[in-house]
A and B are shown apart, each in its own frame.
Chain A
Amino acid sequence: MDKEFLEHGLNMNRRRFLSRLSLGLGSVALGSLLIPDLFGGGSGVEEMGLAPGIPHFAPKAKRVIYLFQNGAPSQLESFDYKPKLREMMGQELPASVRMGQRLTGMTSGQSSFPLVGSFYDFKQYGEARAWVSDLFPYTAKVVDDICIVRSMFTEAINHDPALTFFQTGAQQGNRPSMGAWVSYGLGSENKNLPAFCVLLSRGKGNGQGVYSKLWTNGFLDSIHQGVQFSSGESPVLYLNNPAGIDSTGRRKMLDKLAELNQLSYSEFGDPEITAKIQQYEMAYRMQTAVPDITDLSKESDDIIKLYGPNCLVPGTFASNCLLARKLSENGVRFVQLYHQGWDQHGNLPKEMAGQALDVDQASAALVTDLKQRGLLDETLVIWGGEFGRTNYSQGKLTKDNYGRDHHPRCFSIWMAGGGVKPGIVYGETDDFGYNITQNPVHVHDFQATVMHLLGLDHEKLIYKHLGRRYRLTDVAGTVVKDLIA
């Protein structure tokens, strides 16, 4: 009998099952309250990190203009003042300072490493009393608006890996560029322009190449690729309608093409097809937006004087700065400039003066111009190269001529606007300008900080590719809070 009672107790009828189940469901529901996004948009992207297109938290900066000084300008003739190097001119670099730092193939054969001080004098400027060399008089004037970081360091010692590292977070190619990550993370602000634009210019100094892999979308969707604007008559190639086709004809053609593409999308479901449709549409809208932006002829006399006379000569750095401002104020998330010619292995005093003349006025002008339009608060401007230069001379040291080799252990960059603390000088190097003594900032830290300013958590902006989750900062990087206002 007992056995039967037990059986009965163990057997569940439907009513009991359902009533128990409802309790269980209730507790599941209660639990789900603790997970806000459980039922909202469970896309694959969501699972990999946070949904792209919207900042993770309130951003300080909405846009970036990156004035990349390609070839690595010397920190010792720009922002890192080292009087001791002048005192010790020609003396040997102490081994205790060098600490076995590797050399490039260009100086590894050198039997002596004579220290060399800056050919140019330095003065202090602004409330921060920041030291700036005489080569950068205009930058010196805006020193209270910028934040100079003298303690950058990198892992690479040659141009291409160092540049790729700065732009993509890895020394080998194939990863998405910073601009592509930003485009992926924040999307385009103005749907009539690409989110990521690239402008090139070249100085007379010894140059290093730039390649389209630096503005690649890598494994991200191809709409995140940087769009290169050229200096010729049509800044964006293939944007103009061919002769004999007017815009209504073009519109009709695009509509038909979109229909066809839509058909093949519904058949195959390949997301690249929708990307293609979007790109055609954007190109169509760019046809009206781009000529308006690239036309610099309507800029006022004040603006021309601010940026310097070359700002109307297409293909110069000054003109690219002006164009960058126009693109940025029209909602381009990331404008990447490269100015080539900073690789002063020899003939530094002369070549660097020329390079500085190319960029100094326009870089400072960009900061001032954004500020007077009320846009500096929301636009981050970055100025700097891929590494620093040695404190000893490469090649023969004479009174007025020397060169400097690549130096990854310390270099200077500056940033302005976009929530960066203005008017500060961050980090310190030793008296020889060789090692960092205070507040080192690794390239990944820099990238993490830039992403943070844009409202993106660099650890959460992730893309899964070939079975691995990738991010701009790889597996490292700490946000440098000290730089953030």
Chain B
Amino acid sequence: MNIKRLAENLLIAANVFILFILLFYPALHLPAWVQVTGRMHPLLLHFPIVLLLLALVLDVMMLRNAALRGYQPLISNLWLAGALTAAITAISGLFLSVEDVYSGSMLSWHKWTGLGIVWLSSLLYMLRYYKQPIFMAGSVLMLAGLAMAGHFGANLTHGTDFLLAPVTPPPQKITVPIEQALVYDHLVKPILEQKCASCHNASKAKGQLLMETPAQLLKGGKSGLLFIAGNPAASLMLQRIHLPLEEKKHMPPKNKTQLEPDEIAILQHWIRSGADFKRKVTELPAEDSLYLLALQKLAPAEADDAYAFAAADENVIKKLNNNYRVIYPVARHSPALVVNFYNKTQYSSKALEELLALKTQIVELHLQKMPVQDADLSIIKQFENLRRLNLDFTAITGAALKELNALPRLRSLAVSGTRVTAAHLQPLAASKSLKEIYCWNTGITGQDWQQLAAIKHIRFEKGYVDDGSDSLRLNPPIIENEEMIFNHRMGLVLRHPIRGTEIRYTLDGSEVDSLHSPIFKDSLQIDSSFTIKARAYKPGWYGSEPVKMRFMKTTYLPDSAVLLQPANERYVAQGAKSLSDRQTGNFELASGKWLGFRYNNMELLMLFKQPVKMKAVTLNTMRNTRSYIFPPQLVEIWGGPQPDKLQLLKKVIPAQPGKKDGGAFIDITCRFPEQEINCLKIVAVPVPKLPQWHEGKGKKAWVFVDEILLN
């Protein structure tokens, strides 16, 4: 009982305290710890709501059912607890309001409805059984008060749009033409409305700052002026925006939607340019950052990404889908469909017509390289939601293109590589939706482009046209013959990958020119060693660099050959017969084409069953001084009727390389008076001591030979 009395007394005291605070509200100055109790308001407010509602419900039940009379003391206690916690909540709320976090009309409504609850619940606690109508009226009033105070309070903390946001349509993108747009009205204001005004408005006015009208913006808030025109760095608004997110004074506050980088840029540039409220966008200089941002922001909305039609029947899609007509949704859960056609032999008007079962859902149709005829466009124009149509390299003439104006949402059309002319495209200017037409490689010529350029709302993609200004060098012709050694005669074949090129050549190693050198045709029969030089020419191109290659003839093949001294064990190839197999090697030593000698001479004996008339022997050797490979110091050619009756026919001392000579293939030819022989001995002596300039000076050099030619 004592506790109940104490509580009743407290209730009275609290009411008096509330009246006192209200009376002296402007003079209040709260110590810090009291502020803490103020901030407990959002926690405390739940108690009176629950307790008062519970008491009310029990009271009503009791009125209808006399058997519950016994619960009356409990109900009374609930009323008391409810009224008391309401009072405490109100006090904490008043403390909180002193802190100046919130102000404005929303706060007043919340405050006075809240106080109404305190007083009404206190009265009802004492007077509720006095007369039933009074109780009923009071109860209804209190229910209304609880709902209102709760709602206003929630609006204060979460913002007025919080409750209905999920069912509120998103704000429409401004569709003001750039010529009429104002910098403040159409660029700055929408940002402030979306990101600032939910707290800085007449009903909430956080920090005593309102941001709804130009006058309010100029007035600023509790912390002073909002901005200084022309000086973004010194402007409070931008300082707050640029504070780190964790910072308490960062704006918008951490848990609210943040400004996008381009929005910050707009605010910054607006202040920098003088924070004018009346200026038109078109009055800005064309390179001005603000102008460029405005172009981006005010670009007409692409209002087609939401597809307002129902999805098609899965089974229909499945039935129409095959390897050459691929149908797939734009994205998961999207009703919109994309269709690609592949393989022109599988295409027919019927294949297109069958798609009409999906005419609402198809938004993209890719028909490039299919034999689409003009008549097919009358099918295509029925795809009412079509956004993208690709007719590149189809068989259309263009005459029927105007039918596409029936498509209300067609945005992108590609007709590159068709016979379409400018006259065919002109009627498409009537389309309200078309944004771009790709018409490279069509019948449109120089004059026409200017005509088309007059259609401002459509971009015509011209693509790359070779107007002759871009002169490139052709790549050299390709020599098809792979083996550089031939026996009696060879058919030389030259080729160039690019159509219509002219190949001119010389066979004596002299320079090729585009006027006098002969033109290569199909094939060329040659029967002696030669060096081909060839260049490619084509109108509109620079002539190519020359390609050069030496081909060598060998007249005789020995019936047998034997090495009198062995090749080095690492480079033996196929033995002596590798030297007359017409295979030449590259710089890869271990390719199996090269025979290498270092510690002994090369001594090769070649035998012929029938005597042959010979006048020259050529050794194909390698030079690669870095790998110690030098030409032989001495070459001797011996010949005669049989191995034990040989005489020296020729002795040659090849030139030795210098320090700067790189890798090369060198043929050493030994000529002698023509004579009949049955037996030939070739001796090549490696350089015994590398020269002084060489890093391996004094050591033995290598000799590498891959082929020996006999003529």
A304 interface residue (CB < 8 Å to B): yes
Question: B473 to chain A: closest CB distance in Å?
Answer: 7
B368 x A54 contact (CB < 8 A): no
B475 interface residue (CB < 8 Å to A): yes
A374 x B392 contact (CB < 8 A): yes
Question: B229 to chain A: closest CB distance in Å?
Answer: 28
A58 x B334 contact (CB < 8 A): yes
Q: Which residues of B contact A377 (CB under 8 A)?
A: 412
Known: A189-B340, A192-B323, A372-B464. A305 touches B331 (CB 8 A): no
A301 x B466 contact (CB < 8 A): yes
A369 interface residue (CB < 8 Å to B): yes
A51 to B326, CA, bound (A): 19
Q: Which residues of B contact A18 (CB under 8 A)?
A: none
A374 x B475 contact (CB < 8 A): no
Chain A contacts with B in 344-394, Cβ cutoff 8 A = 365, 368-369, 371-375, 377
Q: Which residues of B contact A309 (CB under 8 A)?
A: 472-475, 497-498, 541, 544
Q: Which residues of A contact B97 (CB under 8 A)?
A: none
A482 x B261 contact (CB < 8 A): yes
Chain B contacts with A in 417-474, Cβ cutoff 8 A = 417, 436, 438, 440-441, 461-466, 470, 472-474
A56 to B329, CA, bound (A): 11
Contact with A along B470-495 (1 / 0, CB 8 A): 10111100000000000000000000
Q: Which residues of A contact B329 (CB under 8 A)?
A: 54
Known: A54-B332, A373-B416. A302 touches B342 (CB 8 A): no
A318 to B432, CA, bound (A): 40
A306 x B464 contact (CB < 8 A): yes
User: Which residue in A289, A301, A329 is a CB contact (below 8 Å) of B499?
Assistant: A301
B123 interface residue (CB < 8 Å to A): no
Question: A281 to chain B: closest CB distance in Å?
Answer: 9
B119 interface residue (CB < 8 Å to A): no
Q: Which of B334, B390, B498 has the most CB of A within 10 A?
A: B498
Contact with A along B339-378 (1 / 0, CB 8 A): 0101100000000000000000000000010000000000
B463 x A371 contact (CB < 8 A): yes
A302 x B441 contact (CB < 8 A): yes
A180 to B417, CA, bound (A): 33
Instruction: Report the interface size for chain A: residues with CB under 8 A from the other chain.
Output: 41
A191 x B323 contact (CB < 8 A): yes
User: Which residue in B332, B473, B499, B540 is a CB contact (below 8 Å) of A55?
Assistant: B332
A306 to B440, CA, bound (A): 13
A308 x B472 contact (CB < 8 A): yes
B47 interface residue (CB < 8 Å to A): no
A315 to B508, CA, bound (A): 32
Residue of A nearest to B336 (CB): A58
B342 x A374 contact (CB < 8 A): no
Q: Is the interface of B mostly helix, strand, loop or mixed?
A: loop
B416 x A313 contact (CB < 8 A): no
Contact with A along B297-329 (1 / 0, CB 8 A): 000000001000000000000000001101011
A55 to B414, CA, bound (A): 24
B332 x A56 contact (CB < 8 A): yes
Q: Which residues of A contact B544 (CB under 8 A)?
A: 309
Q: Which residues of A contact B466 (CB under 8 A)?
A: 301-302, 305-306
Q: Which residues of A contact B323 (CB under 8 A)?
A: 191-192, 285
B330 interface residue (CB < 8 Å to A): yes
Q: Which of A288, A306, A372 has the most CB of B within 10 A?
A: A372
Residue of B nearest to A482 (CB): B261
Q: Which residues of B contact A371 (CB under 8 A)?
A: 461, 463
Contact with B along A321-362 (1 / 0, CB 8 A): 000000001110000000000000000000000000000000
User: Which residue in B326, B441, B465, B475 is a CB contact (below 8 Å) of A189?
Assistant: B326
A192 x B342 contact (CB < 8 A): yes
User: Which residue in B326, B436, B463 is a CB contact (below 8 Å) of A368?
Assistant: B463
Residue of A nearest to B501 (CB): A309
A11 interface residue (CB < 8 Å to B): no
Contact with A along B82-103 (1 / 0, CB 8 A): 0000000000000000000000
A265 interface residue (CB < 8 Å to B): no
A372 x B342 contact (CB < 8 A): no
A371 to B474, CA, bound (A): 25
Q: Which residues of A contact B475 (CB under 8 A)?
A: 309-310, 313
A297 to B499, CA, bound (A): 8
Question: B449 to chain A: closest CB distance in Å?
Answer: 14
B390 x A374 contact (CB < 8 A): yes
Q: Which residues of A contact B473 (CB under 8 A)?
A: 309
Q: Which residues of A contact B416 (CB under 8 A)?
A: 372-374
Q: Which residues of B contact A59 (CB under 8 A)?
A: 330-331
A57 interface residue (CB < 8 Å to B): yes
A50 interface residue (CB < 8 Å to B): yes
A312 interface residue (CB < 8 Å to B): yes
Chain B contacts with A in 355-411, Cβ cutoff 8 A = 368, 390, 392
Q: Which residues of A contact B412 (CB under 8 A)?
A: 374, 377
B392 x A190 contact (CB < 8 A): no
A285 to B342, CA, bound (A): 11
A266 interface residue (CB < 8 Å to B): no
Known: A302-B466, A372-B438, A374-B390. A54 touches B414 (CB 8 A): no
User: Which residue in B461, B540, B541 is a CB contact (below 8 Å) of A374?
Assistant: B461
Q: Which residues of B contact A191 (CB under 8 A)?
A: 323, 326
A375 to B540, CA, bound (A): 28
B331 x A455 contact (CB < 8 A): yes
Residue of A nearest to B413 (CB): A374
A305 x B332 contact (CB < 8 A): no
B326 x A331 contact (CB < 8 A): yes
B331 x A55 contact (CB < 8 A): yes
Q: Which residues of B contact A330 (CB under 8 A)?
A: 342
B332 x A288 contact (CB < 8 A): no
A372 x B440 contact (CB < 8 A): yes
B332 x A57 contact (CB < 8 A): yes
Q: Which residues of B contact A368 (CB under 8 A)?
A: 463-464
Q: Which residues of B contact A308 (CB under 8 A)?
A: 472
User: Which residue in A190, A306, A312, A373 is a CB contact (below 8 Å) of B342?
Assistant: A190
Question: B502 to chain A: closest CB distance in Å?
Answer: 14
User: Which residue in B331, B342, B441, B541 is a CB contact (below 8 Å) of A54?
Assistant: B331
Q: Which residues of B contact A365 (CB under 8 A)?
A: 464
A289 to B342, CA, bound (A): 9
A50 to B416, CA, bound (A): 37
B332 x A373 contact (CB < 8 A): no
Residue of B nearest to A306 (CB): B464
A308 to B498, CA, bound (A): 10
Contact with B along A276-306 (1 / 0, CB 8 A): 0000000001001100000001001110111
A373 x B326 contact (CB < 8 A): no
A190 x B340 contact (CB < 8 A): yes
Question: B268 to chain A: closest CB distance in Å?
Answer: 17
Q: Which of A58, A59, A373, A374 has the most CB of B within 10 A?
A: A374
Question: A124 to chain B: closest CB distance in Å?
Answer: 15
B438 x A373 contact (CB < 8 A): yes
Chain A contacts with B in 176-221, Cβ cutoff 8 A = 189-192
Chain A contacts with B in 128-158, Cβ cutoff 8 A = none
Q: Which residues of B contact A300 (CB under 8 A)?
A: 441
Residue of A nearest to B329 (CB): A54
A285 to B323, CA, bound (A): 9
Known: A331-B340, A374-B416. A58 touches B305 (CB 8 A): yes
Residue of A nearest to B307 (CB): A58
Q: Which residues of A contact B305 (CB under 8 A)?
A: 58
A331 to B327, CA, bound (A): 12
Q: Which residues of B contact A54 (CB under 8 A)?
A: 328-329, 331-332
Q: Which residues of A contact B440 (CB under 8 A)?
A: 372-373
User: Which residue in A50, A192, A331, A374 is a CB contact (below 8 Å) of B438?
Assistant: A374
A58 to B336, CA, bound (A): 10
Contacts A305-B472, A309-B497, A374-B414 supplied; 4 other A-B pairs, CB < 8 Å: A58-B334, A192-B324, A297-B499, A373-B392
Q: Which 9 A-B pairs have the closest CB atoms?
A: A372-B463, A374-B414, A312-B497, A372-B440, A374-B438, A309-B475, A191-B323, A58-B331, A305-B466
Can you list 6 A-B pairs with a CB-CB distance of less than 8 A?
Answer: A57-B331, A192-B323, A305-B541, A309-B472, A310-B475, A372-B463
